[in-house]
Amino acid sequence: MEIRNGTLVTEFILLGLTQSRHIQLLVFVLIFIFYLIILPGNFLIILTIKSDPGLSDPLYFFLGNLAFLDASYTFIVAPRMLADFLSEKKVISYRCCITQLFFLHFLGGGEGLLLIVMAFDRYIAICQPLHYSAVVSPRACYALLLALWFGGFVHSIIQVALILHLPFCGPNQLDNFFWDVPQVIKLACTDTFVVELLMVFNSGLLTLLCFLGLLVSYAVILFHVHRSSSEGKSKAVSPCTTHMIIVFLMFGPSIFIYTRPFRALPADKVVAFSHTVIFPLMNPVIYTLRNQEVKTSIRRLLSRHVMC
C-alpha cells in the first residue's frame, strides 16, 4: 500500500538487541530494576533543585534541565524495547518510526547544546567571576534554554526531512532495537550517498566539533584554575571534572555512531544500547554524587517528607 511520501513499506520489523530468548529476559529484568532505581532519582534531582532556594544558581538550573532531558530521552527507546522483549514479533509502524526519530534527535541535540551552555556557565563563573551575575542572569538562562530547544528542533527536523524523501520498498527488517538513521538509511531502495553525506555533516561533524570545542573550553578553565590561588581550587575543579565525564559519556557514543559511513559494525548495538538506555539516566546521578550541595539538599528534602 503506497502512502503519501512514496514509500511502499508501512511497517518495520525490529530484530532486537539479541535473538537469544534467555538473554532477552535477563536484560529485561536488569533494565527494569535499573529504571526503578535510577529514573526516580532523576525526578528527585529535579524536585530538589526546584524546591530548595539554596540551589538557585544557574549551575543547578542547568543541572535540573539536564536531568529532565535525560529522563525524557529514555522514554523514547526503552519502554518500546522492554515491550519488545516480551513479544514474539517486534513490529513498528512507519509513522511511529518517524516520531521516534524526531524526538530522539530533538532531545539528543538539545542535550548536546545544553552541555555547551553548561561549559559556558563554568567558564564565566571561574574565569570571569566579577561578571558572572550580569552575564549569566536569570533572563540569560531562559534565553539560552530557549535557544538550545530551538537548536535541537532544527537539528531533528533536518534529520526527519532527509528520511521522508527516501523510498522504502523492502526489505523491512531492521537489525536493531530502535529506529535510527544509520540502520534505516540502508533499507531505502535508492542511492543514498548524498543523504548519508548530509547526515554525517548534520550529526557526525557537528557532534565532533561540539566535543572538541568542549574539550578545549574545559582545558582553558582547568588551566586558569591551575594558575589561580589554591583557595577554592577543588570546589572549582569538581564541577568541571564531572562535566567532562558527562561530555565523554554523551559525545563518545555519538561520535562512534554518526561520524563514520553507515556500515554495520559488531559493536553498534552495544554502543547504541549504552547511548540510548544506560548513560542518559546515569549522567545527572554522576553529577549529583559529586556535588555536596545537591546531596545535602536531597537529604533535607527526604528528611522533611519522612518526618511528615
User: How many domains are contained in the chain?
Assistant: 1
Q: What is the pLDDT of residue 193?
A: 83
Q: Please spell the DSSP secondary structure of 240-266, one letter per residue.
A: HHHHHHHHHHHHHHHHHHHSS-S---T
Give the separation between CA 208 and CA 273, rounded to whole angstroms. Answer: 20
Q: What is the CA radius of gyration of the chain?
A: 21
Reported as a single tens digit per residue, the pLDDT across 166-181 is 888 877 888 888 888 8
Cβ proximity of 51 and 115 under 8 Å: no
User: For residue 5, is it within any domain?
Assistant: no
Lay out the sheet containing 173-174: strands in order across. 91-93, 11-14, 173-174
Taking phi over 0 as left and psi of -120 to 50 as alpha, with beta for the rest, 66 belongs to alpha
Reported as a single tens digit per residue, the pLDDT across 210-257 is 899 898 888 888 888 777 655 555 566 667 777 888 888 888 888 888
Q: How distant is the alpha carbon of residue 281 from its chain centre?
A: 9
Q: What is the pLDDT of residue 169?
A: 83
What CATH number does the domain containing 300 carry? 1.20.1070.10
User: For residue 125, is it within any domain?
Assistant: yes
Reported as a single tens digit per residue, the pLDDT across 65-84 is 988 888 888 888 888 888 88
Reported as a single tens digit per residue, the pLDDT across 85-134 is 877 778 888 888 899 989 999 998 998 899 999 889 988 888 888 888 88
User: For residue 239, is it within any domain?
Assistant: yes
User: For residue 219, is it within any domain?
Assistant: yes
16 pLDDT more than 50: yes
- Identity at 61, one-letter amino acid code: F
User: For residue 80, is it within any domain?
Assistant: yes
User: For residue 298, is it within any domain?
Assistant: yes
Residue 261: pLDDT band with limits 50, 70, 90: low
Give the separation between CA 211 and CA 195, rounded to whole angstroms. Answer: 23
Q: What is the pLDDT of residue 7?
A: 46
User: For residue 84, is it within any domain?
Assistant: yes
User: For residue 224, is it within any domain?
Assistant: yes
Q: What is the pLDDT of residue 152?
A: 92
Reported as a single tens digit per residue, the pLDDT across 268-298 is 888 888 888 788 877 777 777 777 788 888 8
Output 13 or 170, whichever has higher pLDDT: 13
Q: pTM of this prediction? A: 0.86
Q: What is the pLDDT of residue 17?
A: 77
Give the separation between CA 31 and CA 277, rounded to whole angstroms. Answer: 8
Residue 44: pLDDT band with limits 50, 70, 90: confident
Q: What is the pLDDT of residue 2?
A: 41
Reported as a single tens digit per residue, the pLDDT across 178-209 is 888 887 888 888 888 888 888 888 888 888 88
Retrieve residue 125's grid coordinates: 563563573
Q: Which domain holds residue 82?
A: 11-307
